[in-house]
Amino acid sequence: MTFGEHLEELRRRLMVGILAFAVAFAAAFAFQDQLVAFFSQPFERARAEINVDLATKWADKRKADPGLAPALDQLVELLKTKGVLADPDVERLRPLMERDGKLAAPHLPPLSAMGAFETFTSYMLVCLLTALVVAGPVLLHQLWQFVAAGLYANEKKAVVRMLPVSFLLFFLGLAFGFAVLAKLSVQFLISYGDLDYVQPMVTISSYLGLLFLLLLVMGLTFQIPLVMTVLASTGLVGPGFYKGKRRLCILAIFVVAAIITPPDAVSQCLVAGPMLVLFEIGLWMAKLAARRREQRQRDEAARPPAKDAATEPAKDENKEGTAP
């Protein structure tokens, strides 16, 4: 292909990708309220549990220390009996006693917006990222069609074999991060410290930034088996290295799980378990990749060397020249 043909091919691929993204963005914009409600689910689940804990602690505290309402009520009744307070005075004091007895338990408020444009920018961010995820296969397919023309056959084969696995692992990481890790992380962060003294006001932009960063990290984390396989297939890192560092990796996984989850064993196991499974899968795939690499090397060593075609005619001419 000439340079002009390459530019024309690039323009055509870009037009298809932009059209796919525009359609996906328009669909996401039409359902923006539903999308924001969907992505807010981890925060709402964490907020509900925190508010239940706050209400329980508040009820226990009120049982231990009922406040001034019972004492004021007894005092008012005593003063009324002795004629110190008249009925109009008692009626004026009654709302104060009822207000003290009906103090609401502290609670964590829903997501808020601090600036005039924060809600708009947050909604557009949700639509943008949703459109990228939905149109991602089309965009990557167009990119692959453009790049594949300059690759060798073995390179194309390797990419075609690894790319679907990478996609699957990435979306599995997104699903795990959203279904399990997001709620645990949000609950740990917003309930950190004593909520009787500090009650966080979580804005929608800060929450979405944390959520999308967490999902991206989990999507990349789930690429561990693929990375281990590629390194083993190229011979840069052998499976023996992974096996020797297994104990260190297990310790590191549990340390990370303990940091990003609430301090309970169930949450830590929910996070550490999939990471351990990913490491073991990566170790198994690395062993298979190393075996295939060794087999290829043995086949290449056993293959007879190719004859040099350029020297064959010269040998024939020499034989003809020396013939009697």
324 residues of the chain, pLDDT tens digit each: 666 777 888 888 899 999 999 999 999 999 999 999 999 999 999 888 888 888 787 777 766 655 555 666 666 666 677 666 676 766 666 665 555 444 556 678 889 888 888 999 999 999 999 999 999 888 888 888 787 777 677 767 777 788 888 888 899 989 988 988 888 888 888 887 777 677 788 899 999 998 998 898 888 888 888 888 888 877 777 778 888 888 888 888 888 777 766 666 777 777 788 888 888 888 888 888 888 877 777 777 777 765 554 455 544 444 444 443
**Do the domain assignments include residue 184?**
yes
For 255, the domain range is 151-195+204-294
Rounded-to-integer distance, Cα 219 and Cα 167, Å: 9
Q: Please report the pLDDT score of residue 317 as a whole number.
A: 47
Q: What does pTM read for this prediction?
A: 0.72
Would you say residue 211 lies in a domain? yes
Do the domain assignments include residue 42? no
Count of domains observed in the chain: 1
Cα dihedral value 133, 138, 143, 144, nearest 10: 110
Residue 222 placed within a domain? yes
Which pLDDT value is given to residue 286? Answer: 83
Residue 64 in domain: no
Residue type at 211? L
Burial class (CB in 10 A: 0-12, 13-18, 19+), 14: middle
Q: Is residue 68 part of a domain?
A: no
Q: Which residues contact 126 (CB under 8 A, 6 or more apart)?
A: 28, 32, 35, 36, 39, 208
In this structure, are residues 184 and 271 in contact, taking their beta carbons and an 8 Å threshold? yes
| Closest to 112 measured CA to CA, from 200, 51, 34 | 200
Q: Is residue 189 part of a domain?
A: yes
The residues, ordered by sequence, that sit 6+ positions from 131 with a Cβ below 8 Å of its Cβ are 21, 24, 25, 27, 28
Model pLDDT, residue 324: 39
- Residue 93 belongs to a domain: no
Q: Which of 169, 171, 149, 148 is nearest to 160 (CA)?
A: 148
Question: Which residue in 11, 1, 302, 35 sits closest to 178, CA to CA?
Answer: 35
Report the alpha-carbon distance of residue 218 to residue 103 in Å, rounded.
42
Distance between CA atoms of 249 and 244, rounded to whole angstroms?
Answer: 10
Q: What is the pLDDT of residue 272?
A: 81
pLDDT digits (tens, 9 = 90+) for 58-68: 777 766 655 55
